[in-house]
A and B are shown apart, each in its own frame.
Chain A
């Protein structure tokens, strides 16, 4: 039985982070499928999912052999780097310094790039569509794997984090299948902002635990760290506004 009080934060973090990544991957798979053929695009996506499963199987087994303090230190540092990268970008977008990601525009650009070489026979095997979908799903999937393993393994919450990630990927895939168009209504920048805060907080917490810091109130420090990151980010957005 999963304890929701402890499992909730990692599950929610994995869900939202995976949803953002899945939306990005789906946009490219849809563009490749619509322009160059669904068989090749979906084959590329499936091959990437298999590669990801292999990565998870290899790293999941290897991680079990790493001492917990070392694991928390390394994973904490990686999660912090990862989360702060998202947070920085979301802050710059919120401040109006860089453009907000537009899935519709990205979809149109990707379609144009894939269809630029003239007439394409959609029923034939198309290596470009397969490779494009493979690369997109693999890269976005690696981000999901990093978050799930990072949040799950360091805190002994691998099952809830995995469930959150799978739930998000299935939900996004079903939505994309039914709509057959990019999920542009997903508030991606807001999600990235929230996930950046959550992942950075987990990273900072696990790194501290790994090097032997004793956080006041234990796990309850994580929401406090999230609040501190939120406050600092809000100040940063105001300071960065042109």
Chain B
């Protein structure tokens, strides 16, 4: 890969680690900006919506990611039990458990 493109990709990765969470947060921010611009709802309602929606997006993402990672690890372990190979070779390559050990 072009080193400059690679570096740009790394820089973009500083903000967008998990695409779904980033999109969810941006959609919430966009919705609140539109609501604030159009004057819909009272200000306390906008504030409560902004804060609670961001928290909900974060929690949903963490719980879903945890479930997906654990499911992948469980499937890999079951696969390892079925085959007489070492468990290390059966770890899910590219899963979050391995991917996150590379960069902070």
Contact = CB atoms under 8 A, between A and B. Distances in A.
Nearest to A101: B104
Classify chain A: how many residues form its interface, as a range. Answer: 35 or more
Contacts of A20: 104
Interface string A81-96: 1101101110111010
Nearest to A215: B47
Interface string B49-60: 011001100110
Interface string B37-55: 1000001001100110011
Question: Taking chain B's interface residues, is the majority helix, strand, or loop, or is none over half, making it mixed?
Answer: helix
Contacts of B96: 92, 97-98
A189 B33 CA distance: 33
A38 interface: no
Contacts, number: 126
A24 interface: yes
Given A97-B65, A225-B51, A92 B46 contact: no
Contact of B10 (A139, A212, A236): A139
A232 B55 CA distance: 6
B18 interface: yes
A204 B50 contact: yes
Contacts of A241: 66
Contacts of A39: none
A42 interface: no
9 contacts: A77-B26, A80-B25, A81-B26, A85-B21, A88-B21, A92-B65, A97-B70, A138-B7, A236-B58
Which 6 pairs between the two chains have the least Cβ-Cβ distance?
A: A240-B66, A232-B55, A98-B100, A85-B17, A97-B66, A236-B62
Interface of A: 20, 24, 73, 77-78, 80-82, 84-85, 87-89, 91-93, 95, 97-99, 101-102, 105, 135, 138-139, 142-143, 146, 188, 192, 200, 204, 207-208, 211-216, 225, 228-229, 232-233, 235-237, 239-242
Given A98-B100, A139-B14, A228-B55, 13 more contacts: A81-B16, A84-B21, A84-B58, A88-B21, A92-B66, A98-B69, A98-B97, A99-B97, A101-B104, A135-B10, A143-B14, A213-B43, A239-B62
